[in-house]
Amino acid sequence: MRRYALCFLIVLAMPLRLAAAREPTPEQTFDLLIKAMYENDTGAVQALGGPPADADTDTFTLPGLLVTRLESLKRNTGPDAADASAHQTWASDVVAGSRCRAERSEIWHDVIAGTRVADVHFTCRVGDVERLRPLSDAALFGGTDQGQERLWKAYMTILRDGPYRTISGSTRLVSSAVDHGWQSAQDGYRGERLRYGRIERDVGEVLIEALIMQLRDQSNETMRTAIMHATGLDECDNLVDRHRRCMARIAPQELAGAHELARALSTKHKEVSETELVQQCIALRPRVEALWNRDCR
């Protein structure tokens, strides 16, 4: 009799245990949201209860922003209709391939709002845009359509196929006594045209920085450095400018040497007289020109 009673109690407890097991963790909910947002995973969409109510409205999309960035790089060629379709597919593949996943979370209680809060830490993989710096600098200084085309083709390849690097970020999920489960906060984010609220903003910002802004920031950094290293002496600055322009066209990897030449002359400008520095630049000219070909002259 005691054995039957024990079995009866176990059976009664099973539904409670299964119900508790059905509630996803914050990490699992994050992964489902990412798969629904970026990876076109219909299973994830259904697990979340279907698409957001405003799924058909005009919303911000990260792939759309990537396409805009690519077309700005291709400004001299102008995409046709076939390009536009291919670019949209490429951008969707890049975003889906970022594979953002939750690593860990900290759960705490917001006693004022009456909710549980989970701060979720995540990682994503993205194309290592830093490797494009020589081509980015070449497009900046070369002033040719060829250099620009070389850059955007490499940009498309590295974002889609790698090599990759890992980036990280954090976002926040909430769980109320009414809704149960974990959800992305929506209040205050609808005005930003985001279907999935805070998680879409937080993950999007991390990916935008790595996929879009870094390339622009690299170009801005290179230009600031070039301006900072100018000596104000025509014989020196013209030599550096011509060397940069030449290397940008024929050997982008040699731009590191052109940047070092500018840095060295800038340092000497603080150490010697302008007359002496001009003479040094004149003496350097044959050695620099020896690296040029007829396309540079």
CA-to-CA distance for 267 and 122, rounded, in angstroms?
43
Quick check: 4 pLDDT over 60? no
Average pLDDT rounded to a whole number, residues 172-194: 76
Q: In sequence order, what are the beta bridge partners of 104?
A: 121
CA-to-CA distance for 180 and 182, rounded, in angstroms?
7
State the pLDDT at residue 9: 42
Is the previous residue joined to 286 through a cis bond, with omega within 30 degrees of 0?
Answer: no
Instruction: Decide: residue 194, CB within 10 A, 0-12 exposed, 13-18 middle, 19+ buried.
Output: buried
pLDDT of 212-268, one tens digit each? 999 999 999 999 999 999 999 999 999 999 999 999 999 999 999 999 999 999 999
State the pLDDT at residue 12: 45
Query: Between the CA atoms of 261, 263, 267 and 269, what dihedral angle is there, to the nearest 10 degrees?
Result: 70
State the pLDDT at residue 81: 52
Q: Quickly count: other Cβ atoms within 10 Å of residue 59's Cβ.
A: 16
CA-to-CA distance for 101 and 173, rounded, in angstroms?
14
Give me the half-sphere count of Cα atoms (radius 13 Å) on the Cβ side of residue 238: 7
Average pLDDT rounded to a whole number, residues 134-139: 95
State the pLDDT at residue 123: 98
Q: Which tokens sit at 223?
A: 């230009």
Average pLDDT rounded to a whole number, residues 55-60: 52
pLDDT of 8-44, one tens digit each? 444 444 444 434 456 789 999 999 999 999 998 989 8
Name the H helices within the chain: 2-22, 26-38, 42-47, 62-73, 81-96, 133-142, 145-161, 198-208, 214-228, 234-250, 255-269, 274-289
Average pLDDT rounded to a whole number, residues 110-138: 94
